[in-house]
Chains A and B, each alone.
Chain A
Amino acid sequence: MNAPERPGSFGEQEPELPNPLPRPEGEFEALKKAWKAPRGISFITAVNNTYVGLWYVGTAFLFFILAGILALIMRAQLAAPEGDLVSHDLYNQLFTMHGTVMMFLFAVPAVEAASVYLLPNMQAARDLPFPRLSAYAFWAYFVGGLVFFGTIFFGLSPNGGWFMYPPLTGTKYSPAENADWWLLGIGFIEISAIAGAIEIIVGVMKTRAVGMSLDKLPVYSWAMLVFAVMIVIGFPAIILGTLLLEMERAFDWPFFIAERGGDPLLWQHLFWFFGHPEVYIIFLPATGMVSMIVPTMAQTSLVGYRLIVLALIATGFLSFGLWVHHMFATGLPKMSLSFFSAASTAVAVPSGIQVFAWIATIASGRMKLTTPSLFIIGFLFIFTLGGLTGVMVAMAPFDWQAHDSYFVVAHLHYVLIGGMVFPLFAAFYYWAPVASKHALSERLGRWVFGLMFLGMNVTFLPMHITGLIGMPRRVYTYPVEMGWDALNLVSTIGAFMIAAGVAVFLFDLARNFRFTLEDNAGNVWNASTLEWLPNGTYNTRSIPSVVSRDPLWDQSNLSKDVEDGRYYLPGTATGGREALVTSPFDARPQYILQVPGPGWQPVLAAVFTAAFFLLLTVKFVFTSVICGVLAVGCVIWWLWETDPGPVRPPADIGGGIVVPVYVTGPMNHSWWAMIVLMVVSGMVFTCLIFSYLFLWLVNPGAWPPQGVRIPDWIWPSLSALLYCASAVLIAVASRQLRGADRRNPRSVPILIGVALLLVSGAAAVDLWTQWGTNLSPSAHAYGAAVYAIVSLQIFFVLTTFIMGIYTIARWLAGRLDSVRRTTFDNTMLFWYYTVGQGLTALLVVHGFPRLTGGI
């Protein structure tokens, strides 16, 4: 184990406290006032990470219960042979919805939600850097998720299985709207997950306690960082996939229809590029939680911190590769199987490292057998067993049909429930005292654990055998003579035991959980990390400086000093909400971020965005478009209040450190968010180019197909020229907008305006060129692919257009000048991205067929 590291970056041995006592009169009151939550109906406009985090966790848990109820119905149906509780079609909807809701509406949101609550507290940040963005992500998920779930009551739920393979989900076999609900509903919820991921990345990198350098970052923060990066890389693939399938269904663009040059395999590629890492996306945050809980329960520092960081980063990277490896080594049809088995086998090395680190930690301390500890032991046991069956699935010599049996259902539940649900329950019991007046009951907790642990094994252990004796998954009933009845009955009893465990948990919540911040139960476990400091809506009274990874153990009197306001920024410098932004590596204070407060904008924007997608599903195109416009309007209204500029001179936050209240350029938090957004966009685009190349690969001699003419090169060149010219104008505008004196030169809006015309012209020329060759998007996959690329580009140009107009409006309103220019910078970055993407698109669409000469 490493010796505890002392502060290097600050050079002090025992840090002098930065602020003296007594604190000035009214300082604390001003802080409290700035962070006061809205009351009455406006309560839902709260944007604090604590409020939003709690609602978010609650909603995710609600979906766990709802999907669990669906599971119970399925188990009731299967309890006896020839059951007639539900029809065949309803059963299909049930397992599809159960799988989809558990994976997309429970597992990912739950871990993201927990981090909205925990991350800022653990890093002693006042809030996440974009509180309104998390509020938006939450409300979008809340509304969209509930409506999506509601379809089950109308027989409209998707029924194609949670991975929605075409051609089964194409219009030919699924003409009804069930599949559209999946595509639009899930596609939309993924967007909300990405918004959350951007927030997490910037939050972990830029809002930490002073001195919390990378080597002192809590493991949970590392896990969430890797998690968020994985979402940013992996989710665009599924978003693109759903987009393509929806375009096929809506406009008959044949991406997946083999007769017209499409290929259903393309869907599987896109799905599994996301789907394989998905298991780790769920699993990593859970391990992050375990790495926080184990040291507390053992009352000793975590062993092997650096190895764990290695394991997290390596898992993040490698999980993306496993997909391809399995795909080309074993062929695609076996993917769905290798998906779950590889989830447990290939993660072996990094997971192994983590497990050893936990065991070593437990061994070097003295583990208290509390409820969280029990859930962690349960997790280790179940997850390991799931890993073993994973190896069996991979090696067992039975054929593919037998693989698609209840053995797989058993295995995947061992991995998912063991790897994610148990750590989450450990986390509920462990962190409840942070947000509640009382801790949850240890006595009831043992019952919850006992019922869930036994129930889990009673349900799924027999399923291994049910599978081995031949019961296939996804069947709605089975005949008496198969001899599957006894085992199925046992499984059903087990499922109801799990349900009983969850019911006891709900009872415990109802009895003991009373949300409060100032008045919480406090550090009941004697934990070492900052979320256990005394807190309020503003989080901690002052922002501590830390010298180790276990500040509460190593810095005596830390809680008291923080609470007395003796650390940094004990009040508010600008009179409003603010967070201290620190440097990404050493966590030195950089500037004060003026955080936006509560507002209706994110709530309304989310509701309208959800309405846009949901109405589109039921083909109310006109109303849907209106909602779309309203959503954009709300976003603009929301942004209008941001980018406040330097409202006061740099402020003293204590210890002689003076920081500005506004910065622009690469240090700025929204610059970082823009970069992440560009990575997301770049991934969507890359997946689209991949799809283009994939379709080329399956269409030898038909790229372009007979009779399709490639446009003359002069037009793409013109388009490229226009793109470049617009970027140059923006660069000129940026130069004009420089300087320390607050100038707002008149040339800036004019330059932006002209650049807007150029960039729109560029996209228009390209669209017009393709149209001019009579290329049809629905005749062949070639046309579909070309128009998909062109359409995506038009979407980006349209977004650039709105941003450009918005930037001009800011200038006209006097909200943009050479100092207060974050809005301009954001537009500029996005602009450059759009131009780069446009040029690449031209190169591929016009260059590639020429290069290959039609082969």
Chain B
Amino acid sequence: MSGRRTGQVLLMLAGLIAWAVQFTVIYGVTSTLCGRGWADATLFGFGIVPATIVSATLITFAATAVAVIWSIKSHRQNAKRPAATTDGFMSHVAILINGLSLVVILWHGISALILPACA
């Protein structure tokens, strides 16, 4: 698999990978803190749990937004080269997947924030 192709695959899956990262971080931190009864701990006046959820969500959301912009750009370029059907297909699917991931990341972030962490 050439470097260009690897890049395309990564771009195609970027949003879902970002979501997986968000998930692992939120889940890992929350379950550790809840498991040990440290859920109320604070850092600089913020609860660690909500702070983790918010920052993980914002960072992965931003990364996915960048991925969306990138895939739109590369799709425009591919559209100019009619011979590149595989590329056009991949960039189009990349837009769809990353777009959906934006919603999913937000959805998970908000529900994690609203639901009681250690219930």
Contacts and interface: CB of A to CB of B under 8 A. Distances in A.
Contacts of A666: 1
9 contacts: A9-B85, A213-B85, A310-B96, A317-B16, A321-B23, A325-B23, A328-B27, A331-B119, A349-B100
B46 interface: no
Contacts of B30: 328
B90 interface: yes
Contacts of B96: 306-307, 310
Interface of chain A, main secondary structure? helix
B63 to A, nearest CB: 16
Given A306-B89, A306-B92, A325 B108 contact: yes
B84 A8 contact: yes
Residue of A8, A666, A700 most packed against chain B (CB within 10 A): A8
Interface residues of A, number: 31
B108 A329 contact: no
Interface string A305-345: 01101100110011011001100111100000000000000
Given A309-B93, A317-B19, A328 B108 contact: no
A12 to B, nearest CB: 11
B83 A214 contact: no
A243 B108 CA distance: 33
B52 to A, nearest CB: 13
Interface in B71-87: 82-86
Nearest to A313: B97
B97 A328 contact: no
Interface string A637-677: 00000000000000000000000000000100000000000
Interface of B: 1, 5, 13, 16, 19-20, 23, 27, 30-32, 34-36, 82-86, 88-90, 92-93, 96-97, 100, 104, 108, 111-112, 115, 117, 119
A386 B91 CA distance: 35
Contacts of A324: 23, 27
B115 A214 contact: no
Nearest to B4: A585
A306 B83 contact: no
A585 B5 contact: yes
The 6 A-B pairs of least Cβ separation, nearest first, read: A215-B89, A8-B85, A697-B35, A317-B16, A310-B96, A213-B86
Contacts of A317: 13, 16, 19-20
B13 to A, nearest CB: 7
A496 to B, nearest CB: 44
Contacts of B82: 8
A318 B104 contact: yes
Interface string A1-30: 000010011010000000000000000000
A678 B28 CA distance: 24
Nearest to B30: A328
A584 interface: yes
A697 B92 CA distance: 43
Contact of A698 (B35, B90, B92, B112): B35
Contacts, number: 81
Given A213-B86, A325-B108, A584-B1, A314 B23 contact: no
B16 A313 contact: yes
A314 B31 CA distance: 25
B20 A310 contact: no
B115 A329 contact: yes
A586 interface: yes
A328 B93 contact: no
Contacts of A309: 93
Contacts of A584: 1, 5
A309 B85 CA distance: 16
B31 to A, nearest CB: 6
Contacts of A697: 31-32, 35-36
Contacts of A329: 111-112, 115, 119
Contacts of B108: 321, 325
A309 B104 CA distance: 17
A321 B20 contact: yes
Contacts of B27: 324, 328
Contacts of A700: 36
Interface string A698-714: 10100000000000000
A11 B1 contact: no
A310 B89 CA distance: 11
A684 to B, nearest CB: 18
B37 to A, nearest CB: 8
Nearest to B31: A328
Nearest to A330: B119
A331 B34 CA distance: 12
A577 B111 CA distance: 55
Contacts of A215: 85-86, 88-90
Given A8-B85, A317-B19, A328-B27, 10 more contacts: A214-B86, A310-B97, A313-B16, A320-B20, A321-B20, A321-B108, A324-B27, A328-B31, A584-B5, A697-B36
B44 to A, nearest CB: 22
A700 B27 CA distance: 19
